[in-house]
Amino acid sequence: MLAAAVSAESGVPIAAGALKRMKATAQQVGLSRSERAANVQGAFRVPPEGKAAVVGRGLILVDDVLTSGATVEGCARALPRAGAANVDVLVFARVADPVRTSI
Q: What are 2-32's pLDDT values in tens digits?
A: 888 888 888 888 888 888 887 777 677 766 7
Give the count of beta carbons closer than 10 Å to the beta carbon of residue 84.
23
- Give me the helix-helix angle, 33-40 and 70-81, nearest 10°: 30
Of 103 and 48, the structure prediction assigns the larger pLDDT to: 48
DSSP single-letter state for residue 53? G
Give the Cα separation of 10 and 21 in Å (integer).
Answer: 26
Q: Which pTM does this prediction carry? A: 0.77
Q: Which of 98, 39, 100, 50 is nearest to 73 (CA)?
A: 39
| Sign of the dihedral defined by the CA atoms of residues 46, 52, 56, 58, in that order | negative
d(CA 27, CA 1) in angstroms, rounded, equals: 22
Q: Taking a C-beta distance cutoff of 8 angstroms, is the pair 72, 89 a contact? A: yes
Residue 98 has pLDDT above 70, yes or no: no
Q: How far apart are the first and last CA of the chain?
A: 25
CA distance 50 to 98: 38
